[in-house]
């Protein structure tokens, strides 16, 4: 299993879908699965039950997913906040940290009203605060760090595939472009 971690808006779902397609693996999105279980959006649950209750559910879902069959897993931005989640991700999967600067994420998300942690007066400062806390945790969890910068999704997928091949986690040529 390959897991993607990073700030909200770093491209985990978008890159994950393309990576899964490239490797002919199922794509799993932990936030989407949580919403399916809840029967409501994460934002609604967050507002009603609070972050601690959400993190409890997130831990349960991540524990289940990281024991499951092979695939590409997009995690929630805060999935690394709990030590047990970091351990499960690192020990059971190959973790790729899609590292995006707060300014870069802000450019992508400035009009997004669906992300509960960004519904504040100064979302850019909020992203900077999240990055300060989470960057070391993402690094601790990750086997690979990919700087997202401005490359296309296809370029990011190629970079991940190359890293996985070089590390011996994919047979060479298995995920050649165009497959």
Average pLDDT value over all residues in the chain: 91
CATH topology of domain 2-166: Rossmann fold (3.40.50)
The annotation status of 11 as a binding-site residue, yes or no, is yes
Q: 43 or 147: which carries more pLDDT confidence?
A: 147
Instruction: Say how many C-beta atoms besides its own lie within 10 A of residue 81's C-beta.
Output: 16
- Can you give the pTM of this predicted structure? 0.91
Q: DSSP of 142-163, one letter per residue?
A: -SEEEE-SS--HHHHHHHHHHH
- Distance between CA atoms of residues 85 and 65, nearest Å: 11
Q: Tell me what pLDDT residue 179 has.
A: 46
The annotation status of 53 as a binding-site residue, yes or no, is no
Instruction: Read off the pLDDT of residues 70-106 as tens digits, 9 standing for 90 and up.
Output: 999 999 999 999 999 999 999 999 999 999 999 999 8
The annotation status of 55 as a binding-site residue, yes or no, is yes
Task: Tell me the percentage of the chain whose pLDDT exceeds 90.
Answer: 73
Q: Which residue has the tokens 């039950």?
A: 49
The annotation status of 9 as a binding-site residue, yes or no, is yes
Domain positions in the chain are 2-166
pLDDT (mean) for 36-59: 92
The annotation status of 29 as a binding-site residue, yes or no, is no
The annotation status of 10 as a binding-site residue, yes or no, is yes
Instruction: Read off the pLDDT of residues 161-172 as tens digits, 9 standing for 90 and up.
Output: 999 999 998 765
Q: 53 or 119: which carries more pLDDT confidence?
A: 53
Q: Please state the three-class secondary structure of 4-50 as a single string.
A: EECCCCCCHHHHHHHHHHHHCCCEEEHHHHHHHHHCCCHHHHHHHHC
The annotation status of 16 as a binding-site residue, yes or no, is no
For residue 127, give the nearest of 11, 8, 47 by alpha carbon. Answer: 8
Q: Tell me what pLDDT residue 82 has.
A: 97
Q: Tell me what pLDDT residue 177 has.
A: 55
The annotation status of 31 as a binding-site residue, yes or no, is yes
The annotation status of 14 as a binding-site residue, yes or no, is yes
């Amino acid at each position: 299993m390959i897991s993607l971690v990073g700030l909200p808006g770093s491209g985990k779902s978008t890159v994950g879908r393309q990576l899964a397609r490239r490797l002919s693996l199922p794509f799993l999105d932990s936030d989407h699965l949580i919403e399916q279980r809840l029967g409501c959006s994460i934002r609604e649950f967050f507002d009603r039950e609070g972050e601690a209750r959400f993190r409890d559910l997130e831990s349960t879902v991540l524990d289940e997913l990281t024991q499951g069959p092979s695939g590409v897993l997009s995690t929630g931005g805060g999935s690394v906040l709990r030590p047990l989640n970091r351990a499960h991700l690192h020990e059971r999967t190959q973790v790729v940290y899609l590292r995006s600067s707060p300014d870069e994420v802000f450019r992508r998300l400035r009009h997004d009203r669906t992300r509960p942690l960004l519904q504040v007066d100064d979302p850019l400062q909020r992203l900077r605060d999240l990055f300060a806390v989470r960057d070391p945790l993402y690094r601790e969890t990750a086997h690979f760090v990919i700087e997202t910068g401005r490359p296309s999704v296809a370029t990011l997928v190629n970079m991940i595939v190359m890293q996985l091949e070089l590390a011996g986690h994919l047979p060479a040529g298995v995920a050649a472009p165009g497959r």
